[in-house]
Amino acid sequence: MMEFSAVDLARFQFAFTVSFHIIFPSFTIGLASFLMVLEGLWLTSGRDVYLRLFKYWMKIFAVAFGMGVVSGIVMTYQFGTNWSVFSDKTGPVLGPLMGYEVLSAFFLEAGFLGIMLFGLTRVGPRLHFAATCMVAFGTALSGFWILSVNSWMQTPAGFSINEVGQFVPENWFEIVFNPSFPYRFVHMMLAAYLTTAFVVGAVGAWHLLKDRSSDAARVMFSMAMWMAALVTPLQIVAGDMHGLNTLEHQPAKIAAMEGHFEGEEGAPLILFGVPDMAAGETRYQVAIPKLGSLILTHSLDGRVPGLNDFPPEDRPNATIVFFSFRVMVGIGFAMLGIGLLSLYLRARGRLYDTPLFHKLALAMGPTGFIAVLAGWITTEVGRQPFTVYGLLRTADSISPVDAPAVATSLLVFIVVYFIVFGIGTFYLLRSMAAPPDAGDGPHAGEPTRAAGVTPAFAYRDKTTPNPAE
Amino acid sequence: MDLDLPLIWALLIAAAVFLYVVLDGFDLGLGILFPTARSATERDVMMNSVAPVWDGNETWLVLGGGGLYAVFPLAYAILMPALYAPIFAMLFGLVFRGVVFEFRFKSSEQRRWIWDIAFFLGSLTAALAQGIILGAIVQGIAVEGRAYAGGWLDWLTPFSLMTGVAVVIGYALLGATWLVWKCEGPMQDHFRGLALTLMFAMLAMIGIVSLWTPALDPAIAARWFEMPQILYTAPVPLMVLGLAVVLFRSLNGTRDALPFLASLALFLVTFAGLGISLYPNIVPPTVTIWEAAAPDSSLAFLLAGAAVLIPMILAYSAYAYWIFRGKVRPGEGYH
């Protein structure tokens, strides 16, 4: 049987829990902004369809947000339980950034979430809209801080090292706005918006396939396709710039992503292949000459790095990074295709009348999540074998905890997460399958809170304020 | 200007932990009391009484953990591995407890009992684990250099199990008095009766902790039982007695809010007593708050933000409570 060390197990546990966690924020960041836009449109236009859509997506948001909160609390403590040496050394620099995330973002979201979910009749539409804006702002702000933290681990700046080996702050501006942060932040926020847009688009497509006349389905599908058409090109540009930034600061990661073992001038773009770390080459290459240099250096003869430029103990695993990167980029271009197709169909007036396109959009629904996970695997595995790039090795970051303890907690995590988030995903999908035109939202046919105690119509009468009032 | 930043931050973190304990304490207490509800309607009311605010309450725990990492990274790095099992038990408990707020109302009525049990067991596990964590810190942590040096079951002692039970009882008391405040009619009477029983159990646990803790460490005993320190510490047990009288009378009367407020005050006094026993250590018995603190530049950077943001947080959290003030009636609250 294979023996796993405590480091392997702790890495797998972190990867597992953070992968589950990242799914929810990347959805709720986009969804919170979508809800803000919907409520704003309802308040300004007075059109009932926007309120119906708002309520419909708010229920889905509540479930996704709840799962994001509980999986996020785990992350706060996991730094200490499994990575205590990392925590001790990076606490003075990264801790305050996370402190700001809690103080400025988490409390904002949590404090106004209750008003957003339950308070429409109690505070009136205008204050309620303000609460929705606060939740949306809070989700984006939390992304700002946590990406600053992650970026600092990739491209550390603005620090010195004290006598006990801790990273200590010298310049907070350089720490927060470290070299890779602006690129990563833009790239991730756009990814969150696209992820949400494709989920909304798939739900709209599903309901258009069932009932082409549904105005709620039309509105959400149209809004999602505008996002796909406008944001995907921006994301591809942002991704390219992020890649150039990585080339400057983490060339080994780029070499792994590209599958280049030998650094060379006028390097090809390897479309497909199987990087073999042991042999030091990428087998079965399908490559386009010179294009690698053109993309990375914007010149046909520019030099791009190869993994062999770096000592073996400093190389990330190219087999993983090479494929995860291609999955992400492939999905990005598929999204672009959907966006362009939607523009064409819209111009022809056929956006709501092309079932084949709706089926395509439905199939694209979960791809945002896959792209986000693939992108994270690319950047995180590409950072290895370091936690703080070039300065603190992953193997030196671990807690003095025995492998059996890590293995036990890992097993419980796997069981608990698959049960809890599996059921949560089932509820989400069921809510999304319910038609958006049923007045009170997706649960017309299923029990609502406290069903059987108060007739649902009593609630509906109170909570559908007329904006003209 | 020379501020003692580690001391300021120790007080702030202690305040965050205290707010967490009392705010999520009554949420968790509701979960612990879930089996004592006499109908599905009562369980709905219990959940709806905290549904709009529980998420904010739990955020104080994130501030406690994140804040410890930021300002006392050494304490965080020692305590988390030392408390590995109870920390994970707490997190798993909170995962189950947290998702039930959404899942319970999405499930069919035939299957709702599954989530009722998850809510109870999740709350109970989290509360018990928090109490065990408290006991394990009070009884002391083995440290060598900058790392935890004990085994992975060191936290498990009769003392820590006793503090675990004490916290479960204390949270149940907070939950029961919260329901006295937020409910009316027979449901209120039911929980008023329960609260009275829990009050006596809580006072018994306070008594046991107060006698057992000084027995662990002569330095702690000196603080509580020897002149001249006793002049400073004597008010603590006296206040506990005074609050017990207030709580007892309010539970026998018709006051709605007072039992909860008196229970909060009881928690505050015992929390202060705990602080007196441990100060100035953050990882007893060896690491002080100054040894564990991050450099002043880190503490000052976060303090600048905290000074502005914490009053704002308190203001809008209070506003959220204000919006959802008043009695919770059956059928209200679903979104």
pLDDT band for B273, please (50, 70, 90 cuts).
Answer: confident
Residue B289 lies in a domain: yes
What mean pLDDT do residues A89-94 have?
Answer: 91
The count of structural domains within chain B is: 1
- Residue B105 belongs to what domain range? 9-201+213-294
pTM above 0.90, yes or no: no
Would you say B275 and B268 are in contact if contact means Cβ atoms under 8 Å apart? no
Residue B75 lies in a domain: yes
Whether residue B202 is predicted with pLDDT greater than 80 in this model: the reply is: yes
Whether residue A443 is predicted with pLDDT greater than 70 in this model: the reply is: no
Which amino acid type is present at position A303? R
Question: What part of A 433-452 touches B (C-beta under 8 Å)?
Answer: 443, 446-452
pLDDT band for A2, please (50, 70, 90 cuts).
Answer: low
**B55:A110 CB<8 A:** yes
Exposed, middle or buried, A312 (CB in 10 Å: 0-12/13-18/19+)? Answer: exposed
ipTM associated with this complex:
0.83
What is chain B's mean pLDDT, rounded?
Answer: 87
At A459, give phi and psi (nearest 5°): -70, -45
End-to-end CA distance of chain A: 71
**pLDDT, position A360:** 94
E strand map for A259-376: 264-265, 269-276, 281-288, 303-304
Asked if A76 has any chain B CB less than 8 Å from its own CB, the reply is: yes
**B147:A400 CB<8 A:** yes
* Rounded Cα gap, residues A11 and A283, in angstroms: 28
Whether residue B335 is predicted with pLDDT greater than 60 in this model: the reply is: no
What mean pLDDT do residues B312-326 have?
Answer: 83
pLDDT band for B40, please (50, 70, 90 cuts).
Answer: confident
DSSP H or E run through A167: strand A167-169
* Rounded Cα gap, residues A167 and A145, in angstroms: 18
Would you say A243 and A187 are in contact if contact means Cβ atoms under 8 Å apart? no
In chain A, pLDDT over 70 holds for what percent of residues?
A: 93
**pLDDT, position A464:** 41
Whether residue A459 is predicted with pLDDT greater than 60 in this model: the reply is: no
pLDDT per position as a tens digit, A46-82: 888 999 999 999 989 988 988 888 888 888 888 888 8
Range name among A244-253, B20-29, B283-292, B316-325 with the lowest pLDDT average: B316-325
- Distance of residue A237 Cα from the nearest chain B Cα, in angstroms: 34
Would you say A432 and A60 are in contact if contact means Cβ atoms under 8 Å apart? yes
pLDDT band for A96, please (50, 70, 90 cuts).
Answer: very high
Please report residues of A whose CB lies closer than 8 A to that of B334.
Answer: 448-450, 459
**pLDDT, position A463:** 41
Residue B300 lies in a domain: no
**pLDDT, position A31:** 94
pLDDT per position as a tens digit, A267-317: 888 888 888 888 778 888 888 888 888 888 888 888 888 888 888 888 888
pLDDT band for B333, please (50, 70, 90 cuts).
Answer: low
Would you say A282 and A273 are in contact if contact means Cβ atoms under 8 Å apart? yes
Residue B94 lies in a domain: yes
* Rounded Cα gap, residues B16 and B72, in angstroms: 14
Instruction: Evaluate the CA torsion angle A203, A204, A205, A210 in order and state its sign.
Output: positive
**pLDDT, position B214:** 84
How many other CB atoms sit within 10 Å of the CB of residue A3?
6
How far, CA to CA in Å, does A160 sit from each of A85, A177, A279, B299?
17, 16, 38, 16
CB pairs under 8 A between A and B: 273
In chain B, pLDDT over 70 holds for what percent of residues?
A: 98
Please name the member of A77, A84, A453 whose beta carbon is closest to the beta carbon of B77: A84
Query: Which residue reads 């600061």 in tokens?
Result: A249
**pLDDT, position A439:** 52
**pLDDT, position A206:** 93
Residue B221 lies in a domain: yes
* Rounded Cα gap, residues A27 and A152, in angstroms: 24
Residue B114 lies in a domain: yes
* Rounded Cα gap, residues B13 and B225, in angstroms: 28
B65-101 burial, b if ≥16 CB within 10 A, otherwise e? bbbbbbbbbbbbbbbbbbbbbbbbbbbbbbbbbbbbb
pLDDT per position as a tens digit, A362-396: 999 999 999 999 999 999 999 989 999 988 998 88
Whether residue B1 is predicted with pLDDT greater than 70 in this model: the reply is: no
What is chain A's mean pLDDT, rounded?
Answer: 86
pLDDT band for A260, please (50, 70, 90 cuts).
Answer: confident
Which candidate, B100, B155, B109, B151, places its Cα nearest to that of B130? B155
**pLDDT, position A398:** 86
Partners of A288 in beta bridges: A269
What mean pLDDT do residues B216-224 have?
Answer: 81
- Distance of residue A195 Cα from the nearest chain B Cα, in angstroms: 23
Please report residues of B whose CB lies closer than 8 A to that of A80.
Answer: 65, 68-69, 76-77, 79-81, 87
**pLDDT, position A438:** 66
Whether residue A322 is predicted with pLDDT greater than 50 in this model: the reply is: yes
Asked if A24 has any chain B CB less than 8 Å from its own CB, the reply is: no
Residue B64 lies in a domain: yes
pLDDT band for B28, please (50, 70, 90 cuts).
Answer: very high
**pLDDT, position A301:** 85
**pLDDT, position A330:** 94
E strand map for chain B: 143-144, 147-148, 281-283, 287-288
Whether residue B323 is predicted with pLDDT greater than 90 in this model: the reply is: no
Where does residue A165 fall: left (phi above 0), alpha (psi -120 to 50 degrees), or beta otherwise? left
What mean pLDDT do residues A387-412 have?
Answer: 87
Whether residue A462 is predicted with pLDDT greater than 60 in this model: the reply is: no
pLDDT band for A134, please (50, 70, 90 cuts).
Answer: very high
The alpha-helical segments, DSSP class H, found in A1-83 are 6-45, 48-82
Residue B245 lies in a domain: yes
**B96:A63 CB<8 A:** no
pLDDT band for B126, please (50, 70, 90 cuts).
Answer: very high
